[in-house]
Amino acid sequence: MKISVVGLRGFPNVQGGIETHCEALYSHLAKTSLSITIYGRKKYRVKDSDKVRMIWLPCFYSQYFETISYMIFCVLHIFFNKKPNIVHIHGIGPALFSPLFRLMGIKVILTYHTADYERKKWGFFAKKVLKTGEYIGFKFANKIIALSEGSKSRLASLFLSFAEKIVVIPNGIELPLQKNNARGKFILGMGRFEDGKGFDDLLDALHFVEATSVGCQVDAIIAGKPDHENAYSRNLVKKRKSYVKFPGFVQGEAKEKLFLECGLFVTPSHHEGLPFVLLEAMSYGCRILASDIPAHKELGLPDECYFPCRNIGALAEKIEKFYLYQSDPVNYDEMLKERYNWEKIAKRTFDLYENIL
């Protein structure tokens, strides 16, 4: 069975939840009888995966035309070469092209990661295009994968006539050998520098704690970068004070070191699908503060781990408690092994491929 995967930037060592998801998923599926081809974008090529076939295509590297131009090249490459049995599309923007794959006689699966049109960075026209891609993806895909039960319920209510197509297959996580010992003193945030991630809220809360709390020596690291430099990422740099470090995009040992040594992991996102970086923090046993958006709440963390989304005062209060009170290490391994095991997730994805042919 031949599978072509489109919609992502590529992997390995490429920033992004979709990219991390795809690297893990297709590395596991590569152990099966599937023949997998990943279509990446040349700009993001660091090296090729040694587990799956990679094809790197050109595109226009701009916020508004990158995905569309890349998808045009994907369609052309698939059309003029031996066609796969299934095209697996990641994201609602690329889903705009799903009818073209169906016209070629190819089955289509769409993984719905998040409602991208909710991001502030998109203007009116771009949001309309993304919503159109969402609808076309639901209409023409043979199956739609939602990453959580909450996402499935929301999508089923939006697209009643296509609700039977939706299945839940979540993100997964590999459990590390080493764990965080809860003795670290710095606060860690991690992700792409774009408005929906809420890092401006985190900076404001940190500045509030530093200015008003006696005995709290604030120390923080926010690891990540923007895909395309924009007003939001420039504003983060302007807001940053000396006690906050921006090391850029981190991977491998540098990333593991941050998870192992941080005292508190904070994810202040305004919207997510199923956030891979939060699963990573849980796998290391980090103390966690997460905004109370549905995707975070579905993970079932203790109530004290959540704060009201966009509420800077509430976030600052929780951060102050972190500095004032020591806590014991936490361990989420049993829950993660049961619900977010990559072997099980790969098997469910493989079965879905077989069932639509």
Per-residue pLDDT of the chain (357 residues; tens, 9 = 90+): 999 999 999 999 999 989 999 999 999 999 999 999 999 999 999 999 999 999 999 999 888 899 999 999 999 999 999 999 999 999 999 999 999 999 999 999 999 999 888 887 788 999 999 999 999 999 999 999 999 998 999 999 999 999 999 999 999 999 999 999 888 889 999 999 988 899 999 999 999 999 887 667 889 999 999 988 888 999 999 999 999 999 999 999 999 999 999 999 999 999 888 889 999 999 999 999 999 999 999 999 999 999 999 999 999 999 998 877 777 888 999 999 999 999 999 999 999 999 999
- Name the residue with tokens 């009201």: 308
Rg of the chain over Cα atoms, rounded to whole angstroms, equals 20
For 14, list phi and psi in degrees, rounded to 5: -120, 130
- Neighbouring CB atoms inside 10 A of 214's CB total 4
**Nearest-CA neighbor of 18 among 47, 2, 34, 38?**
38
pTM reported for the whole predicted model: 0.89
Domains and CATH numbers, the chain: 2-172+341-356 (3.40.50.2000), 187-335 (3.40.50.2000)
